[in-house]
Structure 1
């Protein structure tokens, strides 16, 4: 590229609207190629060592830490479009990080927040849409509900535009439970198994971008695929596709004795989320509509 072309590209980049990504991890990195043609992207990281990686994908890194409010001052007014993908801290009953972020958000900003389907708690396997009330049963899920409420209050008082994406278990080729299968960690017996929901990381990246352009103000969306699986069926399908033994099955009473409380909590909530709003309003066509569709590709490559 000659000097004149380089200068032209720089001018075009600086003219694009600014967008700020909070929590640019795996999904955020998958979003960058979709965003950089339209926005001048600023990506917040608390790790200076990641700056080169972010620059390589066209983002301008900003070193800041949601746990250190003073470090966020440089973000004030930086962008009116914000993608909030950062999880709450591991402790506490509130999401202090989201509170710190809201303190520096400008009025009339647009925010897309990536939350979790865990806010619903155990639903006994019921299938439902976004109108169902939340009923979090773990501290982690209660912090997510707190984040959603704080963002809603910010949007109300600052005349902001907010979209909340409730996200289930995220999978990808690099995010399959292979270590668990190799360790032969047991799953629940079929008669006690729980319904789970899934989304591929690439599809989630596309959903976040679609919400940025098409979401209705103050709207919640289920960012889930079309899979109808129980947890043990998911482990079995991954095991079959990757030529690994299927996990042993145990009744819940026995499983409680051999798995961690954190793992057991994931096996204690059963729900099936409707994604029709995602399709109707955001116009999303999933690249991997089911886990099985993705695993067929894994099996062919194996």
Structure 2
């Protein structure tokens, strides 16, 4: 089994670790030489990919690929890999057996706190979510054209070692924003890796929500992390008057509870089904500061 991860960042590292543990040879792309060193340090065969051209070395690595994960965000012009490869993907990857595309639950848009599932009509609000939805369809069409399963993994708010409320509290950047009835789902990064491996082993395609069991108010996560650390949580701030970037404010414009029932019905068991037990595990194991390079080892 040979996996190539286009855009091997935080989630890609977790996917790399899961596949490597299953015996796969893992390759990954990044945009910079500095990050290339991080991939090498993590045991990943790394390549530079600028989103516009395939180097001869990367093209050679792709020829033996059996599994593909695409994590690079789309542009207004579409998905960068599809733009480059297009109908030539079968020629570039003649051994390809499975495709995984990392998307976002943001494609559902705002459902005023109601539960949503894979069959819920998507009404994306932001331009980036609309682009994601278009990229999802492009990869689904690509899989159908190639006759191989293409799994669309819709991810909720990603956290894990090195990226969590403990880190934010330590840095003094944690904020306890209060917006009435606002809830979010989350997903521990290792469960992204595990779900991608599971879907590939089961040769499953289609759309899957990769998200936890416990949608809830974002301020509750900060309070729980502070309790475990034995520190005072930051003071409450009203969302309406808080200073936020346009992107941060846009996240609060979408309110929904995302169901993971389909993925669990397929047979996947989440290692970290809710944030209280997940935070407790990170705190007890002292892994909350772990960086992404270490995560992939």
Q: State TM-score, norm by structure 1.
A: 0.80
Alignment counterpart, residue 179 of structure 1, candidates 168, 174, 180: 168
Matched residue, 1:112:
100
- Quick one: structure 1 residues 141 and 243, their matched pair in 2 at CA, closer, same or farther if it must change by over 3 Å? farther
Cα deviation, 1:71-103, whole Å, max 9, x if unaligned, reads 7654653424211122235xx364445433545
Matched residue, 1:124:
112
* Structure-to-structure mapping, 1:77-88, within 5 angstroms: 77-88=63-74
- Quick one: structure 1 residues 96 and 243, their matched pair in 2 at CA, closer, same or farther if it must change by over 3 Å? same
Q: Equivalents in 1 of 2:68, 2:126: separation in Å?
A: 27
Q: State TM-score, norm by structure 2.
A: 0.82
Aligned length: 278
Structure scoring higher RCO (CA < 8 A, sep ≥ 6) equals: 2
Alignment counterpart, residue 223 of structure 1, candidates 210, 224, 232: 210
Return 175-184 or 58-67, whichever deviates more. 175-184
Q: Equivalents in 2 of 1:280, 1:215: separation in Å?
A: 15
Q: Unaligned stretches of 5+ in structure 1?
A: 1-16
User: Does the Cα contact within 8 Å between 2:215 and 2:258 map onto a contact in 1?
Assistant: no
Matched residue, 1:266:
251
Q: Return the offset for 1:69.
A: 5.3
Query: How big is the alpha-carbon RMSD for the aligned residues of Structure 1 and Structure 2?
Result: 2.7
Return 132-141 or 93-102, whichever deviates more. 93-102
- Radius of gyration: which is bigger? 1
Is structure 2 residue 284 aligned with structure 1 residue 284?
A: no
Cα deviation, 1:99-134, whole Å, max 9, x if unaligned, reads 335454216642011110000011111112211121
Q: Unaligned stretches of 5+ in structure 2?
A: 287-297
* Structure-to-structure mapping, 1:203-218, within 5 angstroms: 203-217=191-205
User: Does the Cα contact within 8 Å between 1:112 and 1:162 map onto a contact in 2?
Assistant: yes
Is structure 2 residue 31 aligned with structure 1 residue 46?
A: yes
Return 233-242 or 169-178, whichever deviates more. 233-242
- Quick one: structure 1 residues 87 and 239, their matched pair in 2 at CA, closer, same or farther if it must change by over 3 Å? farther
Secondary structure in 1 aligned to 2:264?
helix
Cα deviation, 1:22-57, whole Å, max 9, x if unaligned, reads 111222223334323432322223333444543444
Q: Equivalents in 2 of 1:55, 1:63: separation in Å?
A: 12
Secondary structure in 2 aligned to 1:44?
strand
User: Does the Cα contact within 8 Å between 1:120 and 1:135 map onto a contact in 2?
Assistant: yes
